[in-house]
């Protein structure tokens, strides 16, 4: 496998040399590797698991449909039921279409916006790291090899919480911007008062399509995503990750007049929206429906918030005790925490991130982030805080001049060359 994994964020370059575990199973908040080591896991499948690994009600729902077959030559009743469930929790949308991963649906949304408006430019939020694996977005990153220049030039960017930058973009490209796509919020950035409403108004004024990327916020901020939390309804929204608790499913939802451009009830030129062999595959739809039932009957988001708050408090108290609050901190929305690793001058450091990750792994914590699930309990938080405290003792020694250990530093996943320092 190129890179040794099917996702860049899962690559061995994201871990200290010789310490990237190969996993064999998971249960709740724990995973086991091929050598029999058990870890408390954070990040939870790149934020795709909110209820915990092997969550029984989801597994039961999947087993209930397995014997009847998975994929057919016509839609099943499961597709209708899943669509009704989805639209019941995202009331601003009229129609939904399912896919398998986030890029399926963000790219479909962009294509739909271009078809609806007859325009070619896509405006993305420059402060948000990822929207799709497809050319319209990847061409804006350092890994743009293979993307034609003409395609790269069709994506323009604005700044988050900066309405003036979006106004300037519309002014610079009058009548050319098909859509504005952004995450309504991120782990570290909440919308300023009036910001999202301002974006909505600008899109309306310029007849551009507003797209919310709810990959992370959906089922982590609330069952109805960020749009339910902040009260602003986009024209289209894109979902995935936690909606299947690890099963492969994504969704594009939106207004009927837009969505039907990819359907049969239109007199306009049709847009090739989403057409996939496995979009209606029964197992993932059953998993999604079980996730929705769990969110209605229980309070997973509340559990995420409570556990994340406790974890952040423990990590930050350990850093404060050792005089490292300026270097290491758990930050952000409690359900989606990240941590900092800075040098003595407060500058982000991949070398010190490597030291920190190495010490956590050695103590049974697999932690590229502090992103929790509802399955994380107080014992898991306690083990993690103890591991962080011990890791910070080593971290402080490195700041004081001790050798950081052998091996290359961990590196950003999206970079131009495979070598950390260049070609």
Mean pLDDT of 113-142: 96
Quick one: pLDDT at residue 420?
54
Which has the closest alpha carbon to 372: 291, 292, 315?
315
Unique residue bearing structure tokens 């399955």: 375
Domain extents for the chain?
A: 2-47+299-399, 56-297
* Residue 421: pLDDT over 70: no
The rounded mean pLDDT for the chain is 95
* Residue 71: pLDDT over 70: yes
Quick one: pLDDT at residue 7?
85
Q: Which CATH number fits domain 56-297: 1.10.240.10, 1.10.1130.10, 3.40.640.10, 1.10.10.60?
A: 3.40.640.10
- Residue 126 Cα to chain centre, angstroms: 16
What does the alpha-carbon distance between residue 175 and residue 178 come to, in Å, rounded to a whole number? Answer: 8
Q: How do residues 168-194 score in pLDDT, each as one tens digit? A: 999 999 999 999 999 999 999 999 999
- Cβ atoms 53, 375 nearer than 8 A: yes
What does the alpha-carbon distance between residue 222 and residue 25 come to, in Å, rounded to a whole number? Answer: 28
- Cβ atoms 95, 234 nearer than 8 A: no
Mean pLDDT of 191-204: 98
Mean pLDDT of 297-325: 98
Whether 2-47+299-399 shares its CATH topology with 56-297 is answered no
What DSSP character marks residue 410? Answer: P
Contacts of residue 267, defined as CB under 8 A and 6 or more positions apart, other chains included, come to none
Q: How do residues 345-393 score in pLDDT, each as one tens digit? A: 999 999 999 999 999 999 999 999 999 999 999 999 999 999 999 999 9
Mean pLDDT of 57-70: 97
What does the alpha-carbon distance between residue 48 and residue 33 come to, in Å, rounded to a whole number? Answer: 19
Query: What is the pTM assigned to this prediction?
Result: 0.95
Torsion 387-392-397-402 (CA) sign: positive
What interhelical angle do 282-297 and 77-89 show, nearest 10? 30
How far lies 177's CA from each of 155, 168, 203, 335, 380, in Å?
9, 12, 9, 34, 47
* Residue 422: pLDDT over 60: no
- Residue 319 Cα to chain centre, angstroms: 27
- Residue 305 in 3-state DSSP? helix
How far lies 246's CA from each of 11, 101, 175, in Å?
18, 11, 40
Tokens of 182: 């952004």
- Cβ atoms 227, 98 nearer than 8 A: no
What does the alpha-carbon distance between residue 378 and residue 374 come to, in Å, rounded to a whole number? Answer: 11
Q: How confident is the model at residue 298 (pLDDT cuts 50, 70, 90)?
A: very high
Task: Please provide the distance, in angstroms rounded to a whole number, between the alpha carbons at the two ends of the chain.
Answer: 20
Q: How do residues 257-282 score in pLDDT, each as one tens digit? A: 999 999 999 999 889 998 999 999 99
Any idea which of 48-52, 140-144, 415-419 has the lowest mean pLDDT?
415-419
Q: How many CB atoms lie within 10 A of CB 25?
A: 10
* Residue 423: pLDDT over 60: no
Q: How do residues 232-259 score in pLDDT, each as one tens digit? A: 999 999 999 999 999 999 999 999 999 9
Q: How do residues 17-30 score in pLDDT, each as one tens digit? A: 888 999 999 999 99
User: Phi, psi (5° rounding) for residue 331?
Assistant: -130, 160
- Cβ atoms 21, 361 nearer than 8 A: yes
Quick one: pLDDT at residue 4?
85
* Residue 322: pLDDT over 70: yes
Check residues 411 and 317 and name the one with the higher pLDDT.
Answer: 317
What does the alpha-carbon distance between residue 392 and residue 380 come to, in Å, rounded to a whole number? Answer: 18
* Residue 197: pLDDT over 90: yes
* Residue 89: pLDDT over 60: yes
What does the alpha-carbon distance between residue 95 and residue 83 come to, in Å, rounded to a whole number? Answer: 8
Quick one: pLDDT at residue 373?
98
Q: Which CATH number fits domain 2-47+299-399: 1.10.10.920, 1.10.150.20, 3.90.1150.10, 3.60.20.10?
A: 3.90.1150.10
What does the alpha-carbon distance between residue 135 and residue 130 come to, in Å, rounded to a whole number? Answer: 12
């Amino acid at each position: 496998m190129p890179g040794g994994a099917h996702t860049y964020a899962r690559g061995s370059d994201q871990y200290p040399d010789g310490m990237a575990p190969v996993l064999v199973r998971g249960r709740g908040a724990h995973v086991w590797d091929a050598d029999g080591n058990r870890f408390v896991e954070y990040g939870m499948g790149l934020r795709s698991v909110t209820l915990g690994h092997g969550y029984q009600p989801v597994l039961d729902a999947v087993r209930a449909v397995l014997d009847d077959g998975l994929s057919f030559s016509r839609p099943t009743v499961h597709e209708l039921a899943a669509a009704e469930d989805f639209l019941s929790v995202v009331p601003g949308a009229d129609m939904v279409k399912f896919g398998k991963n986030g890029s399926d649906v963000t790219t479909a949304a962009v294509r739909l916006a271009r078809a609806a408006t007859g325009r070619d430019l896509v405006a993305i939020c420059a402060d948000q790291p990822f929207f799709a694996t497809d050319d319209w977005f990847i061409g804006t990153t350092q890994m743009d090899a293979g993307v034609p220049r003409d395609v790269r030039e069709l994506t323009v960017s604005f700044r988050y919480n900066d309405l003036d930058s979006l106004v300037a973009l519309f002014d610079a490209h009058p009548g050319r911007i098909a859509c504005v796509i952004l995450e309504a919020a991120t782990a570290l950035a909440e919308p300023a008062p009036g910001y999202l409403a301002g974006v909505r108004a600008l899109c309306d004024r310029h007849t551009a399509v507003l797209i919310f990327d709810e990959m992370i916020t959906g089922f982590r901020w609330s069952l109805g995503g960020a749009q339910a939390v902040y009260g602003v309804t986009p024209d289209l929204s894109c979902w995935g990750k936690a909606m299947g608790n690890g099963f492969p499913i994504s969704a594009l939802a939106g207004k009927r007049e837009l969505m039907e451009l990819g359907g049969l009830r239109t007199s306009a030129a049709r847009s090739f929206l989403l057409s996939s062999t496995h979009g209606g595959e029964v197992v993932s739809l059953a998993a999604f429906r079980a996730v929705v039932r769990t969110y209605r009957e229980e309070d997973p988001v509340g559990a995420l918030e409570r556990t994340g708050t406790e974890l952040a408090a423990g990590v930050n108290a350990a850093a404060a005790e050792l005089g490292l609050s300026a270097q290491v901190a758990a930050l952000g929305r409690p359900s989606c925490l990240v941590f900092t690793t800075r040098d003595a001058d407060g500058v982000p450091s991949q070398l010190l991130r490597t030291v920190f990750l190495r010490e956590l792994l050695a103590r049974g914590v697999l932690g590229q982030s502090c992103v929790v699930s509802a399955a994380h309990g107080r014992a898991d938080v306690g083990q993690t805080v103890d591991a962080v405290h011990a890791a910070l003792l080593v971290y402080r020694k490195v700041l004081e001049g001790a050798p950081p250990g052998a091996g290359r530093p961990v590196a950003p996943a999206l970079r131009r060359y495979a070598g950390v320092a260049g070609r």
